[in-house]
Amino acid sequence: MDFDVAVIGSGLVGASFARAARGLSVALVGAEPHAAPPAARPDAFDARIYAISPGSAAFLRDLKVWPLLPRERLTPVHAMRIYGDDGRSLLEFDAYRTGVAELAWIVEDRLLHEALWRALEARDHLEHFAPAECEALEVSERAASLRLRDGRSLNARLVVGADGAHSFVRRAAGIAAREAAYGQTAVVANFACERPHGNVAYQWFGGGPVLALLPLPGNHVSMVWSRSDADAARLLGLDPAALSREVAEASRHALGALSLVTPPRGFALRRLDTPRLVAPRIALIGDAAHVVHPLAGQGANLGFQDARELADVLVRREPGRDPGDLRLLRRYARARAEPVLAMGATVHGLYRLFDSRSELLARSRNAGLNLTNRLPLLKTMLARQAIG
Ligand SMILES: Cc1cc2nc3c(=O)[nH]c(=O)nc-3n(C[C@H](O)[C@H](O)[C@H](O)COP(=O)(O)OP(=O)(O)OC[C@H]3O[C@@H](n4cnc5c(N)ncnc54)[C@H](O)[C@@H]3O)c2cc1C
Is 309's C-beta closer than 6 angstroms to any atom of ligand 1? no
CA atoms of 242 and 183, how far apart (whole Å): 24
Please tell me the residue having the least CA distance from ligand 1 atom 9: 297
Kindly state whether residues 320 and 348 are assigned to the same domain: yes
Dihedral sign (CA 376, 378, 379, 384): positive
Kindly state whether residues 122 and 256 are assigned to the same domain: no
Picking from 195, 190, 217, 256, the residue whose alpha carbon sits closest to that of residue 77 is: 217
Q: Name 272's bridge partners.
A: 179, 291
Is 8's C-beta closer than 6 angstroms to any atom of ligand 1? yes
Kindly state whether residues 175 and 314 are assigned to the same domain: yes
Kindly state whether residues 339 and 227 are assigned to the same domain: no
Q: What is the pLDDT of residue 35?
A: 67
Q: What is the pLDDT of residue 86?
A: 82
Is 105's C-beta closer than 6 angstroms to any atom of ligand 1? no
**Whole-number CA gyration radius for the chain:** 21
Mark out the alpha helices in 237-375 (DSSP H runs): 240-250, 299-315, 326-355, 359-373
Query: What spacing in Å lies between the alpha carbon of 164 and ligand 1's midpoint?
Result: 5
Is 160's C-beta closer than 6 angstroms to any atom of ligand 1? no
Kindly state whether residues 246 and 383 are assigned to the same domain: yes
pLDDT per residue of the chain (388 residues) written in tens, 0 to 9: 799 999 999 999 999 999 999 999 999 999 988 766 666 677 789 999 999 999 999 999 999 999 999 999 999 999 999 998 887 888 888 998 888 999 999 999 999 999 999 999 988 999 999 999 999 999 999 999 999 999 999 999 999 999 999 999 999 999 999 999 999 999 999 999 999 999 999 999 888 899 999 999 999 999 999 999 999 999 999 999 999 999 999 999 999 999 999 999 999 999 999 999 999 999 999 999 999 999 888 999 999 999 999 999 999 999 999 999 999 999 999 999 999 998 888 888 778 877 777 777 777 777 777 777 777 777 677 777 777 6
Picking from 308, 283, 271, the residue whose alpha carbon sits closest to that of residue 170 is: 283
Count of domains in the chain? 2
Strand pairing report for 178-193 and 2-8: unpaired
DSSP state of 177: -
| Domain CATH for 242 | 3.30.9.10
Question: Domain of 30?
Answer: 2-54+110-179+272-352
Please tell me the residue having the least CA distance from ligand 1 atom 42: 133
Query: What spacing in Å lies between the alpha carbon of 305 and ligand 1's midpoint?
Result: 14
Is 168's C-beta closer than 6 angstroms to any atom of ligand 1? yes
What DSSP string describes 5-55? EEEE--SHHHHHHHHH-TTS-EEEE-SS-SSPPPPSSTTSPPS-EEEE-HH
Query: What spacing in Å lies between the alpha carbon of 341 and ligand 1's midpoint?
Result: 19
Mutate which of 12, 113, 190 for ligand 1? The one with the most ligand atoms within 8 Å of its CB, which is 12
Kindly state whether residues 286 and 254 are assigned to the same domain: no
SS3 label, residue 175: coil
Kindly state whether residues 278 and 290 are assigned to the same domain: yes
* Alpha carbon distances (Å) from 96 to 8, 103, 200, 365: 40, 9, 13, 26
Q: What is the pLDDT of residue 36?
A: 64
Can you say how many angstroms the Cα of residue 233 is from the centroid of all Cα atoms in its chain?
A: 23
| Domain CATH for 114 | 3.50.50.60
Kindly state whether residues 328 and 191 are assigned to the same domain: no
Cβ-contact 111, 75 below 8 angstroms: no
Picking from 157, 162, 164, 160, the residue whose alpha carbon sits closest to that of residue 139 is: 157
Kindly state whether residues 277 and 135 are assigned to the same domain: yes
Kindly state whether residues 144 and 189 are assigned to the same domain: no
SS3 label, residue 173: coil
Kindly state whether residues 31 and 63 are assigned to the same domain: no
Kindly state whether residues 342 and 383 are assigned to the same domain: no
Q: What is the pLDDT of residue 37?
A: 63
Q: How many CB atoms lie within 10 A of CB 222?
A: 26
Can you say how many angstroms the Cα of residue 57 is from the centroid of all Cα atoms in its chain?
A: 13
Q: What is the pLDDT of residue 342?
A: 87
Q: What is the pLDDT of residue 98?
A: 85
Stated pTM of the model: 0.95
